Amino acid sequence: MDKYYIVDQSLLPETFSKVIQARHMLDTGQFKKISDAVKAVGISRGSYYKYKDLVYEANNASWDRKALISFMLDNKNGLLSRVLATISDSNANILTINQNIPIHNVASVVISLDLTHMEHTIDELLVSIRNIDGTSNVNLISIE
């Protein structure tokens, strides 16, 4: 089970903040190539790829938070509705839902959420979704 923490930067290796800086440079278009961004911040491409999907910066300006989760759903009637009800019960606001057609009776789903008024932690929400029979590969893709 994955757990997520908000930790003061001083406790973490400098590489983590440099990964965040490189990702920001790529996202804003300051650099087009990953190799250029990692060179500018002084880390290896390997370090960037190792941590790019695992470290995020908490937004100090606001507690408005967004998250992107993904999971696989068995092709069963009402299963997506159960997942959506679980999300709604936690007071997370669903922004978008992308579901692909089922292949081999399993469909991939990506949901973006507004976590501003969520009553549970993202960890608890992910566990709740994992506990729904017919869901698998439940992952937090990103959070801001």
Beta bridge mates, 30: none
Q: Are 57 and 91 in contact (CB under 8 A)?
A: no
Q: Could you read off the pLDDT of 107-135 as tens digits, one per residue?
A: 999 999 998 888 888 889 999 999 999 99
Does one domain contain both 40 and 86?
Answer: no
The total number of structural domains that make up the chain: 2
Query: Residue 128: inside a domain, yes or no?
Result: yes
Does one domain contain both 77 and 132?
Answer: yes
- Measured between alpha carbons, how far is residue 125 from residues 30, 56, 133 in Å? 35, 19, 15
Cβ-based burial of 111 (10 A; exposed 0-12, middle 13-18, buried ≥19): buried
Q: Which pLDDT belongs to residue 2?
A: 65
Q: Could you read off the pLDDT of 1-44 as tens digits, one per residue?
A: 667 777 878 888 999 999 999 988 988 899 999 999 999 999 99
Domain region containing 138: 66-143
Cβ atoms within 10 Å of 78's Cβ, excluding its own: 9
Q: Could you read off the pLDDT of 53-97 as tens digits, one per residue?
A: 888 776 544 446 889 999 999 999 999 999 999 999 999 999 999
Provide the edge-to-edge strand list for the sheet that holds 93-99. 93-99, 106-114, 66-74, 135-143
- Measured between alpha carbons, how far is residue 103 from residues 32, 59, 76 in Å? 34, 38, 13
DSSP 8-state code for residue 103: B
Does one domain contain both 39 and 73?
Answer: no
Q: Which pLDDT belongs to residue 64?
A: 60
Does one domain contain both 82 and 18?
Answer: no
Cβ-based burial of 4 (10 A; exposed 0-12, middle 13-18, buried ≥19): middle
CATH number at residue 76: 3.30.70.260
Q: Which pLDDT belongs to residue 44?
A: 95
